[in-house]
């Protein structure tokens, strides 16, 4: 029963074919069995079993909520009241939040609950889940060599791929839902900026961050998105846009839809297998009645440098609050300045420090106009580029990543090479657009490959509609079948 999708689990629970308690026990056993993947930072086993018991009673008495009794997982970046939230950092190693994030609150209100808080790159900075203070995460697809699961939501991706939970929540600032989804053979959806409240998420790049579902199927992502979306007075950037019944778009005909193929996404160094996968994806959509149109997004080539100016700038401001006084870890020092400096020196890892340094440098008086202002201008051009393309196409089809998952020890040692992983995903964050990664096939080495769809603002239903065609044609193998 652990390999059922979210929608199947929901239906089987409601029709009492399975119970939430037995399902929860089954996942807890698996989490124990695959402890070496290091998927979770904190487990909530007792709370989960308690919630499962209550859910079974509610189902029996006909009072079930929308996702009643479903065991889920959530990235350790979402504040959970009374449950330790670390953001993968020593800085928050012992931090117990006094309040609940809106996204997790909405999920709990449906009757679903969390088995635990998943591992992640420190403060969501990374593409391989190797910067966590709590250790690396192993991709369940690993065979002879141990693979990275992608990042920064690597724990959530591994938990879903390895059937340690029904579905999980991640966060995406530059690709952290979609890239680990592609590396781990699952579906990852980043909603439109403002679709979900950011209240109670540990902030990284506030103009880029969004929560997103990481699931086994496209329909699951649709059902999950519906419960986490919506206006929240506690987040002034959340939107009042109406929330369609996303799930009803799964399996809907795509006849007549126009799919754009942006030529700039054929970057140097992209593998042949990914180009083939992209071509196959376009052919499937064509056979299903869509029109394939070659398009150009001339400013996309600037997306990565723009992202690596804006995201660190916002991070350097957001992370200023971790000073040893207000939250978490504090190091000793003779003077207050020494306490600040020692706390930040000992509390943050190398990648986080690198981002803070880049951010403070590009925001400093002498460099602000040359870097930050210019990056903001180009951000506008990139967004305009998308808005005009969406006059002639309905969605864009691109690869999610330029390579498949790499093995530990084979990861890029140069940070800039590591940043290239995000080349296809950052554009959607820069322009605030919704995007999804759908697993397509395995490369010659048996590593998952994914394709990405990008839609206009607040048109996530198009991602579900087109994504479910890709999913149906791809028949992506389940982890269990592939790894036996």
Give which of 44, 5, 52 is closest to 24, Cα–Cα.
Answer: 52
Residue 176 interacts with ligand GLN (CB under 6 A): yes or no: yes
- Alpha helices (runs of H) in 137-198, residue ranges in sequence order: 154-161, 178-184
Residue 172 interacts with ligand GLN (CB under 6 A): yes or no: yes
Cβ closest to ligand GLN, residue 97 vs residue 175: 175
Selecting among 5, 20, 127, 152, the annotated active-site residue is 152
| 313 flagged as catalytic | no
- d(Cα 425, Cα 215) in Å, to the nearest integer? 18
Question: Which stretch in 83-91, 170-178, 380-388, 396-404 sits in contact with ligand GLN by CB under 6 A?
Answer: 170-178
Q: How far is the CB of 295 from ligand GLN (least distance, A)?
A: 25
Q: Quick one: tokens of 435?
A: 């995007």
Cβ closest to ligand GLN, residue 69 vs residue 349: 349
Question: Which stretch in 120-128, 333-341, 430-438, 443-451 sits in contact with ligand GLN by CB under 6 A?
Answer: 120-128
Q: In this structure, are residues 119 and 155 in contact, taking their beta carbons and an 8 Å threshold?
A: yes
Q: In this structure, are residues 100 and 81 in contact, taking their beta carbons and an 8 Å threshold?
A: yes
Backbone angles phi, psi at 69, to 5 degrees: 80, 10
Cβ closest to ligand GLN, residue 172 vs residue 461: 172
- Give residue number: closest CB to ligand GLN: 176
Cβ closest to ligand GLN, residue 115 vs residue 311: 311
Per DSSP, 49 falls in state: H
Cβ closest to ligand GLN, residue 285 vs residue 418: 418
Cβ closest to ligand GLN, residue 23 vs residue 181: 181
Q: In this structure, are residues 395 and 260 in contact, taking their beta carbons and an 8 Å threshold?
A: yes
Binding ligand GLN (rule: CB under 6 A), the pick from 69, 140, 149, 175 is 175
Selecting among 104, 176, 316, 468, the annotated active-site residue is 176
Q: In this structure, are residues 315 and 123 in contact, taking their beta carbons and an 8 Å threshold?
A: yes
Spatial strand order of the sheet with 258-262 comes to 40-43, 113-118, 71-75, 168-172, 210-215, 187-190, 435-442, 448-454, 395-399, 258-262, 291-295
Binding ligand GLN (rule: CB under 6 A), the pick from 7, 48, 124, 375 is 124
Q: In this structure, are residues 157 and 186 in contact, taking their beta carbons and an 8 Å threshold?
A: yes
Question: Binding string to ligand GLN for residues 414 to 433, with x set by CB under 6 A, is what?
Answer: --------x-----------
Per DSSP, 126 falls in state: -
Per DSSP, 373 falls in state: I
Q: How far is the CB of 357 from ligand GLN (least distance, A)?
A: 15
Q: How far is the CB of 169 from ligand GLN (least distance, A)?
A: 13
Per DSSP, 196 falls in state: B
| 75 flagged as catalytic | yes
Cβ closest to ligand GLN, residue 43 vs residue 267: 267
- d(Cα 471, Cα 285) in Å, to the nearest integer? 11
Burial class of residue 271 (count of CB atoms within 10 Å of its CB; 0-12, 13-18, 19+) = middle
| 171 flagged as catalytic | no
| Footprint on residues 301-360 left by ligand GLN (CB under 6 A) | 311
Selecting among 75, 190, 216, 226, the annotated active-site residue is 75
Binding ligand GLN (rule: CB under 6 A), the pick from 27, 134, 193, 204 is 204
Strands 448-454 and 435-442: antiparallel
Residue 76 interacts with ligand GLN (CB under 6 A): yes or no: no
Question: Which stretch in 167-175, 288-296, 381-389, 448-456 sits in contact with ligand GLN by CB under 6 A?
Answer: 167-175
Residue 68 interacts with ligand GLN (CB under 6 A): yes or no: no
# of chain residues touching ligand GLN (CB under 6 A): 13
Binding ligand GLN (rule: CB under 6 A), the pick from 125, 189, 306, 451 is 125
- d(Cα 352, Cα 305) in Å, to the nearest integer? 18
Give which of 318, 321, 323, 393 is closest to 355, Cα–Cα.
Answer: 318
3-state secondary structure of 287: helix
Q: Quick one: tokens of 119?
A: 């591992």
Binding site for ligand GLN (CB under 6 A): 124-127, 152, 172-176, 204, 311, 422
Please give the positions annotated as active site. Answer: 75, 152, 176
């Amino acid at each position: 029963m652990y390999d059922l999708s979210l929608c199947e689990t929901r239906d089987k629970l409601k029709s009492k074919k399975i119970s939430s308690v037995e399902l929860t026990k089954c996942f807890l056993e698996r989490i124990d069995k695959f402890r070496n993947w290091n998927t979770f930072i904190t487990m909530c086993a007792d709370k989960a079993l308690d919630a499962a018991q209550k859910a079974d009673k509610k189902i029996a008495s006909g009072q079930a909520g929308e996702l009643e009794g479903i065991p889920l997982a959530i990235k350790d970046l979402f504040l959970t009241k009374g449950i330790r939230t670390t953001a993968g950092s020593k800085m928050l190693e012992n931090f117990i939040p006094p309040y609940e994030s809106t996204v997790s609150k909405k999920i709990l209100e449906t009757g679903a609950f969390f088995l635990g808080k998943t591992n992640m790159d420190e403060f969501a900075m990374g593409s391989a889940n190797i910067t966590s203070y709590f250790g690396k995460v192993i991709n369940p697809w690993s065979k002879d060599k141990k693979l990275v699961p992608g990042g920064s939501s690597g724990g959530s991706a591994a938990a879903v791929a390895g059937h340690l939970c029904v579905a999980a929540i991640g966060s995406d600032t530059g690709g952290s839902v979609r890239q680990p989804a592609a590396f781990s053979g699952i579906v990852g959806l980043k909603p439109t900026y403002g679709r979900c409240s950011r209240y109670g998420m540990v902030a990284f790049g506030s103009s880029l961050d969004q929560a997103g579902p990481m699931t086994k199927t496209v329909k699951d992502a649709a059902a999950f998105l519906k419960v986490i979306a919506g206006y929240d007075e506690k987040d002034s950037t959340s939107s009042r846009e109406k929330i369609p019944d996303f799930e009803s778009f799964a399996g809907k005909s795509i006849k007549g839809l126009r799919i754009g193929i942006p030529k700039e996404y054929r970057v140097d160094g992209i593998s042949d297998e990914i180009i083939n996968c992209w071509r196959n994806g376009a052919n499937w959509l064509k056979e299903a009645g869509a029109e394939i149109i070659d398009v150009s997004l001339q400013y996309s080539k600037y997306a990565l440098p723009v992202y690596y100016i804006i995201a660190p700038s916002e991070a350097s401001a957001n992370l200023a609050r971790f000073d040893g006084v207000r939250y978490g870890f504090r190091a000793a020092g003779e003077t207050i300045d020494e306490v600040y400096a020692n706390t930040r020196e000992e509390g943050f890892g190398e990648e986080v420090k690198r981002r803070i340094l880049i951010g403070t440098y590009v925001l400093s008086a002498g460099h602000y106009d040359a870097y930050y202002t210019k990056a903001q201008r180009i951000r506008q051009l990139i967004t305009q580029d998308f808005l005009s393309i969406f006059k002639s196409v309905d969605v864009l089809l691109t690869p999610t990543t330029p390579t498949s998952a790499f093995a530990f020890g084979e990861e890029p040692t140069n940070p800039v090479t590591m940043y290239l992983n995000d080349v296809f995903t950052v554009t959607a964050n820069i322009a605030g657009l919704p995007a999804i990664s759908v697993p397509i096939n395995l490369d010659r080495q048996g590593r998952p490959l994914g394709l990405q769809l990008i839609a206009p603002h607040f048109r996530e239903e198009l991602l579900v509609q087109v994504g479910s065609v890709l999913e149906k044609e791809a028949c992506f193998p389940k982890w269990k079948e592939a790894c036996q």
